[in-house]
Amino acid sequence: MNNYIVNRLRCDARHALDLAQHERVIEHTVVKGRFREIIVENLLRPWLPPFVGFGTGIITDSNVEEKLGQDDIILYDKDIMPPILQSSYCPDGVFPYNGVLLRIEVKSILENSELKKFAESSKRIAKRMYFNVSKKMNNLLNPRKTLLGAQPSDLLVAGSENAQDPKYKLETPYNILFAYSSQIASAPKNEIAKITKEYKVDHGIIPVLCVADKALWKVGAEGLWEEFRPKMSEVDQEDLEKRLAVDRLVWFVGLISTAVTRLHRQRLGLEPDMGVFAGIGYYLPDDVWVSV
């Protein structure tokens, strides 16, 4: 069964790469949105759980709005918060922070300057505030109290501990960078490590970097970078590069699926590591990662 799932994912990944290569012949700003759509329609929407919605636009908490670029995909939890102003005809909308699971910035060709912008926006998003639903509900259900709107104590900083359970920590929405190719001489993982140190960005905020024609990295359990390096000894060099690019997309989808499943359970107040509810990433072999 696992082989069927991996091979089926490879079909979609291969198709997505072929489409992206075809779109590159057109130099126009509108095409930037096509690179984003290819990822959503061919890889994410078919393979992610049904509670995940997709859009672009603005992330907002009770204090600040964060307007994202045309290249950004917002993955939000439809079971928690609906998007505001989004319609079936237009992906643009306003997305309450409580419902945002992660955002993916998509680039056709990654440049060094874009890494700094990505790190800066990731840090800003991580500073947003969750709305403390439990406190608000207590006010709503207590007739002796008047609901006058969110007070400072009604807010929870992303990444902070839940006041009711100190062991329960709300993780920030993940920030993930995806590019079809890169013009950066060194590994983007090395550059992002320097930048995140400079801007004091925690590893957990940016857990995945993928450049389809070069490498796929993730932050492992020990907080260290791991690179996707499957064993392909029987494949010749030309086919190897093509196969690796396809498989990077396959495991990239697996990582996204695992992430949204974990965050979904956490936001609902469920233990992320309990139960049988699992994303497609759990069906992919995990002996493909090497610490770097």
Please say whether the beta carbons of 61 and 129 come within 8 A: yes
Residue 251 predicted with pLDDT over 60: yes
For 77, phi and psi rounded to 5 degrees?
-95, 110
In a domain, 143, yes or no: no
Count of domains for the chain: 1
Residue 108: predicted pLDDT: 84
Please say whether the beta carbons of 73 and 103 come within 8 A: yes
Domain of 82, in residue numbers: 2-128+172-291
Q: Which of 72, 79, 134 is nearest to 261 (CA)?
A: 79
Higher pLDDT, 133 or 54: 54
Residue 90: predicted pLDDT: 67
Residue 44: predicted pLDDT: 93
Spatial neighbors of 259 by CB under 8 A, at least 6 apart, are: 101, 102, 174, 207, 208
Please say whether the beta carbons of 126 and 172 come within 8 A: yes
In a domain, 35, yes or no: yes
Residue 31 predicted with pLDDT over 80: no
**pLDDT, tens only, 81-107:** 777 766 666 677 888 888 899 999 998
In a domain, 282, yes or no: yes
Residue 240 predicted with pLDDT over 70: yes
Residue 166: predicted pLDDT: 42
In a domain, 99, yes or no: yes
**pLDDT, tens only, 128-170:** 777 665 554 444 444 434 333 334 344 454 554 444 444 446 7
Residue 239 predicted with pLDDT over 70: yes
In a domain, 147, yes or no: no
In a domain, 141, yes or no: no
Calculate ∠ Cα 203-207-208, nearest 5°.
140
Residue 57: predicted pLDDT: 83
Average pLDDT, the chain: 77
Q: From the CA atom positions of the chain, what is the Rg in Å?
A: 20
- Exposed, middle or buried by CB within 10 Å (0-12, 13-18, 19+), for 9? buried
In a domain, 157, yes or no: no
Residue 186: predicted pLDDT: 67
Query: Residue 59 has which token pair?
Result: 């992330």
In a domain, 226, yes or no: yes
* Percentage with pLDDT > 70 across the chain: 68
Residue 207: predicted pLDDT: 87
Give this prediction's pTM. 0.83
